[in-house]
Amino acid sequence: MPTNFTVVPVEDVEDSSSSSGATAGANKPASLGRIFANAEDANHLQEPPSGDDNHKESSPFINSNSDREPYYEGKNMALFEEEIDSTPMVASLLNKLANYTNLTQGVREHEEAEDGVRRVAVMVPQMGTFIGVYLPCMQNILGVILFLRLTWIVGTAGILGSFAIVSMCCICTLLTAISMSAIATNGVVPAGGSYYMISRSLGPEFGGAVGLCLYLGTTFAGSLYILGTIEILLTYIVPTAIVFKENNSEAMHNNMRVYGTCCLVLMALVVFVGVKYVNKLALVFLSCVVLSIMATYAGVIKTLIEPPDFNVCLLGNRSLRNENFETCAKTDTIKNTTIPTELWSLFCSGQYSYNETCDEYFTLNNLTEIRAIPGLLSGVIKDNLWGDYGPAGTVIEKQKQSSVAAQVPSEEKNMNYLFNDITTYFTLLVGIYFPSVTGIMAGSNRSGDLRDAQRSIPIGTILAILTTSFIYISFVVLFGACIEGVVLRDKFGYSVKKNPVIGILAWPSPWVIVIGSFFSCCGAGLQSLTGAPRLLQAIARDGIIPFLQVFGHGKANGEPTWALLLTVGICEIGILIASLDDVAPILSMFFLMCYLFVNLACAVQTLLRTPNWRPRFKFYHWTLSFLGMSLCLSLMFVSSWYYALVAVVIAGCIYKYIEYRGAVKEWGDGIRGLSLNAARYALIRLEEAPPHTKNWRPQVLVLCKLDSDLQVKHPRLLSFTTQLKAGKGLTIVCSVLEGTYMTRGNDAKAGEQSLKSAMAAERTKGFSHVVVSSNLRDGFSILIQSAGLGGMKHNAVLMAWPAGWKQAQDSSARRNFIETVRETTAAHQALMVAKNIDHFPGNQERLKEGTIDVWWIVHDGGLLMLLPFLLSQHKVWRKCQMRIFTVAQMDDNSIQMKKDLQMFLYHLRLDAVVEVVEMHDSDISAFTYEKTLMMEQRSQMLKQMQLSRTEREREIQSITDVSRGSIKRKKCSCAPPLYTQCIPEEEAQLIHDRNTASHSSANDKAVGAAPDRVHMTWTKEKLINERNKQREGMGVKDMFNMKPNQSNVRRMHTAVKLNEVVVKKSHNSQLVLLNMPGPPKNKKGDENYMEFLEVLMEGLDRVLLVRGGGREVITIYS
């Protein structure tokens, strides 16, 4: 609906109480330009520099100082002065729009100019609808098929069949024109025409594919017009100029190739040297077309008065070639003497006598001469209503004419008859005819030269289509009503003295049609050779297809030299085909594909209802676009299914090439909007119900760390994600920066780019995100809770093991890790922790042999068994064998366990070696006891004593020395353990605990109770007193009298014994997967939990700790 704008002038109103020092010019209207013209002043407004001289607004009152008043002239807009750089004033915007001019032909649109070069202003184009759109469309639509093939199509398909062919093709182009008009009027369409509209509506992939199809169609159109020119030249104008004299079709094809190549080279030179002359001659070529059409209509009217004097000679019911004889009779009587005619010598072997041998059909049948054009009122229209199809070599016969068939046909005499040179059928005629309705894009291709493209393109294009459709349909009816059927089926006019069939109908002479169609085909060929290179140049300059960039260059004046050479080469391929009937279907495929995507673009934009879709052309609907798209697709496969498949394959290959190798372009296309709608619909559907076990796959949230340079600290974490995912499912790579978003917003963007670069280098397909939080702990918590969208959320978390948690100055790394474990458990998400992630293989490595060992201690939903299978799908791990170990207690039947596990894996369709490891009950070793004691002593030491870093290290060293002496003394008195392994403390790491819940209460009792009273306000004196109380409560020397917690001893015993077995069995494996126990519910045991994990993983290189999400992820059912 129209919107009314009212411009209201705003003036400064001087307050009556203003100071007398105010200047007299304060009452003038505001000059916004003076306020915002200087970018330096705007910078002062946004970021005031230091110094008293530059400080503009030191007082809360704007007019408090008369020295600064000129700066605040126009102070009625001072509220928006800090935003002027990013949001210009409306007056400035309107001024730019008023001075806008369309860009010249062949120049990239202003919004795509990425090189920053200032465009030269040009004169406003003055072409209107009639000159700029209507006439070019008429000239391109009416062409070679009208003059050379339409009469043959009417004779072969009949009036009704031809009417169906013409109607389908014209309706297809009309619907396409409606869709094109909607797109063309949806904003300013710079020069580029249909390629610009399709690419900006459907995106660079579709735009590049369809643009190249349009280019190939335009190039083959040049071949079609050149072949038409040569056919007119050698058949009607200079038939004696043929090079190959043999009277067969192959010789004619060779003549077409020779002359067609010469004509192509000549036209290419004309285009290269003087393209401006081609444009100037366009009106002359159009005049030839209009004159030929008017001559045809005049000839139809003349048949009402006097039919043309052209006759056809029939032998029986067969039509004869009459270029070799004048008299349609076997004999002629001259001076009472009967002499044979030229026909006698054609069908008989000797002089005229009753005894010589003649063709049997010639002897049995009489000769009849009928009018080639009986006239509009002759009633011949009844005979031409239905089609007459036949295979190649079929003699053309008059259907209702009587004849006597010969017993033995004479093959050598058949060259005197007219016959079908190709096999004819309805769908073939559709493909041959369709090029006659192409050319509807001529107006949109001139969009840069139109005065008002949004008004001219719809009106001119639709009027041109309606006009040409009327001409074609009227010609179909008039040809069928005026011309004899055998003449209509005579493709080259051999039965009428080698005149074009449409020419014998025209008035005053057939030469009007011959000369007019000759120059029309010449002009159309020149225009094709002019337009196709520029279209290729536009595609190359868009940069969406890398290997075409060389064709974006040209001469100094911008003429596309290299593109012209490629166009000539492709056009030569069409000329070497040497048949108008074979080139036309190829041309039809490419144009139909282009029209199909024009309709698709309009339908997509209409259905998506994007806010920017506001065409001025209102007479469109998505159903019309969908109908046009369906009709184009149907015509493609109806006319030639194998050509259609080739065209689709070519477009598909170009699409995939641009998708993988092309430049990234964001044009606000409809496919992007369609993807958003489809994604929204799919996300809503996914959220309706949780995924079934059969569809479960790890949707991974990867927690990465960035170093001080904002680079990924462990890129192999992304490599492992790629190997695990193989591009399937959801992958979200995240990181956290400490601080506030206002101060570290740029760092967050840089970090996200760093993540994207690392993902591209490691071939990880997914999404990246960096959040800024006050601390890492909260940031990771936010990501675990909120990453993903709707039903597309992660169900597993992958992170690296914090290897340096013992050496860290504070305990933040340990706390962050354990809290992440707790939160993933609470969120029912799986957790994967990789130890020594930097030692994992990269994507380019190939493990030639080895095993992936799974230590299945407790059932976690099957994730432990699913992960090795997913890894084995990747080429890095493909040659590794899967082994599954499980642990049997004393009262378990290990043999039966192995059989059951093998059967379970068989039903799961997993190939793995099964081994059951027996762990006998044994006494807790002194090593385990002392290691637990030392762990608890250090934990208590760090908790109870508030020491500086130096003091803490000194105290820990003393405790370690004393503990070692204690271990040596106790080893003498205690029984030797069954198996004791020296484990360095710095390398210790852990895995699973089945009894977390049952041991937590005991752990709570073992740890001292917290003080009842907590000081909310700390002073220096209170801090000193509290430290003294703590030190008095438990001295350092008293810690050696501690007894380790029995729960911790049992856990350490489990970790040590399990580690012994794992190291013994899997020390040479490529990867070890272990069940990961949950952390203790009592947070006071967090340090002990990390020690258990260290002990469990000790002595192993690549370890993946796995903790299930609380649901089954693998099933035996199909």
Q: Where are the beta strands (DSSP E) in 907-1062?
A: 913-918
User: Which phi and psi angles does 772 have, rounded to 5°?
Assistant: -110, 125
Burial class (CB in 10 A: 0-12, 13-18, 19+), 1024: exposed
Of 630, 707, 598, 545, nearest to 183 by C-alpha is: 598
Distances (CA, A) of 593 to 137, 210, 631: 19, 7, 11
DSSP 446: T
Q: Are 1100 and 1072 in contact (CB under 8 A)?
A: yes
Q: In the chain, what is the greatest distance between 2 CA atoms, to the nearest angstrom?
A: 157
**pLDDT at residue 24, rounded to an integer:** 41
Asked if 506 and 295 touch (Cβ cutoff 8 Å), the reply is: yes
- Per-residue pLDDT, 958: 59
3-class secondary structure for 491-549?
CCCHHHCCCCHHHHHCCCCHHHHHHHHHHHHHHHHHHHHHHHHHHHHHHHHHCCCHHHH
Half-sphere exposure of 141 (CA within 13 A, CB side): 31
CA distance 285 to 291: 10
Neighbours of 182 (CB within 10 A): 28
CA dihedral 937, 939, 944, 950 (to 10 degrees): 90
pLDDT value, residue 677: 79
Between CA 453 and CA 450 the distance in angstroms is: 5
So what's the pLDDT on residue 36? 39
Residue 300, Cβ neighbours under 10 Å: how many?
Answer: 22
The strand ranges marked E within 704-763 are 731-738
**DSSP state at residue 123:** P
- Taking the C-alpha atoms of 141, 147, 149 and 153 in order, what is their torsion angle to the nearest 10 degrees? 90
Q: What are phi and psi of 505, to 5 degrees?
A: -85, -25
Rounded to 10°, the helix 193-232/641-661 angle is: 140
Question: Which 8-state DSSP code applies to residue 128?
Answer: -
Total-model pTM: 0.69
| Res 146: pLDDT | 92
Residue closest to 224 by CA, chosen among 268, 260, 277: 260
CA–CA distance from 212 to each of 71, 124, 198, 595 (Å)?
A: 56, 30, 12, 13
Q: Is 479 exposed, middle or buried (0-12, 13-18, 19+ CB in 10 A)?
A: buried
Q: Give the CA distances from residue 962 to residues 337, 400, 807, in Å, rounded to whole numbers and listed in that order.
A: 148, 125, 21
Q: What phi and psi, each to the nearest 5 degrees, are found at residue 38?
A: -90, 115
CA distances to 259, 536, 586, 719, 780 from 217, rounded to whole Å, are 22, 12, 8, 45, 56
First to last CA, the chain: 58
- Taking CA atoms, 579 is separated from 413, 476, 679, 883, in Å, by 26, 23, 49, 68
Identity of residue 623: T
Contact 378, 329 (CB under 8 A): no
Angstrom distance (rounded) from CA 534 to CA 567: 10
Q: Go through the chain and tell me how many residues it has.
A: 1118
Other Cβ atoms within 10 Å of 175 Cβ, number: 25
- What per-residue confidence (pLDDT) applies to 687? 78
Q: Which amino acid is at 348?
A: C
DSSP 370: E
Burial of 761-785, coded b for 16+ CB within 10 Å and e otherwise, reads: ebebebbbbbbbbeebbebbbebbe
| DSSP 8-state code for residue 237 | I
User: From CA 201, how far away is CA 669, in angstroms rounded?
Assistant: 5
Burial 965-992 (b: 16+ CB within 10 A, else e): eebeeebeeeeebeeeeebeeeebbbbb
Token pair 């992936």 is found at 852
Please report the pLDDT score of residue 31 as a whole number: 41
Provide the token pair at 516: 């007019």
* CA–CA distance, 393 with 390 (Å, rounded to integer): 8
3-state secondary structure of 356: coil
Alpha helices in 662-713 (DSSP H): 670-686
Which ranges constitute the DSSP H helices of 274-423?
A: 275-280, 282-305, 342-347, 360-364
CA distance 925 to 1053: 8
State the CB neighbour count (10 A cutoff) for residue 891.
6
| Strand order through the sheet with 367-371 | 318-319, 311-315, 367-371
| pLDDT tens digit sequence for 293-351 | 999 999 999 999 888 888 999 988 888 888 878 888 888 887 777 777 878 878 887 65
Backbone angles phi, psi at 590, to 5 degrees: -70, -40
DSSP state of 419: B
Beta partners for residue 216, in sequence order:
none
Contacts of 784 (CB under 8 A, 6+ apart): 701, 797, 820, 823, 824, 827, 829
Tokens for 679? 């994604």
Please give the Cα distance from 801 to 243 (Å, whole number): 84
Instruction: Indicate the SS3 state at residue 1010.
Output: coil
Tokens matching residue 73: 């002239």
Q: What residues contact residue 44 under an 8 Å CB cut-off, 6+ apart?
A: 54, 56
pLDDT of residue 951: 56
- Count the helices and strands in the chain (H runs, E runs): 36, 15
Query: Residue 318's closest CA among 279, 347, 290?
Result: 347
Residue 622, φ and ψ in degrees, nearest 5: -65, -30
d(CA 1108, CA 433): 66
DSSP class of residue 338? E
Low-confidence ranges of the chain (pLDDT < 50): 1-74, 99-122, 124-125, 923, 945-948, 963, 966-1018, 1031-1041
Q: Which of 690, 719, 1067, 721 is nearest to 870 (CA)?
A: 721
Encoded tokens for 860: 């976690």
